Structures are given as C-alpha cells and as structure tokens.
C-alpha cells in the first residue's frame, strides 16, 4: 500500500458495514428533516457561500447554499445552532 493510499484509507472507517464519511446533500427539505435527529448544526459563512453542517450520531452531513437563502434555512432547523 502506498503512502497516499494509507492516508485515504485512514480517513474512511467502517462500523457495522457502513461507511462513515461526511456526506453532502443538495435537497434543503431533506436537510431540515435530518436536523430533527442531529445534535447540532455548524454554520460556516464564506464570501460566496454558507456551509451548513449537521452532526448526527453517525455522520456529518453538509449543505452549501447562497448567503441569501441561509437565514431562511437556519430558522427552520430543529437542533442547536453553532456559528464557526
């Protein structure tokens, strides 16, 4: 195994046959639905986009949106909100 493969392999771990890599979704309604079972949501505001990151028990789920749409979505989330 080469050094690069070791690094890539180290970032992926499997429990119960399921991969636990971060997952990006593109459906706002699904993101809001997942927020019901999330522990918290990190909000990272950049110049061109806002990244919303839900931490559930098993996964980190991200959604990238325009800054104009971000506030509407944040108001609908049903978990703790953290600005980073």
Which helix or strand (DSSP H or E) is residue 9 part of? helix 3-11
Contacts of 42 (CB under 8 A, 6+ apart): 51, 52, 53, 55, 82, 83, 84
Q: What's residue 78's pLDDT?
A: 95
Q: Which domains are present in the chain? A: 22-83 (3.30.720.90)
Q: How far apart are CA 27 and CA 52, in angstroms?
A: 12
Task: List the structure tokens of 5.
Answer: 């493969």
pLDDT in tens, 18-55: 666 899 999 999 999 999 999 999 999 999 999 999 99
């Amino acid at each position: 195994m080469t050094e690069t493969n070791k690094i890539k392999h180290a970032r992926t771990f499997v429990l119960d046959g399921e991969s636990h890599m971060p997952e990006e979704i593109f459906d706002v309604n699904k993101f809001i639905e997942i927020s019901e079972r999330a522990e918290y949501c990190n909000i990272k505001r950049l110049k061109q986009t806002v990244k919303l990151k839900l931490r559930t028990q098993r996964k980190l789920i991200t959604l990238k949106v325009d800054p104009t749409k971000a506030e509407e979505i944040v108001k609908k989330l049903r978990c703790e909100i953290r600005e980073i």
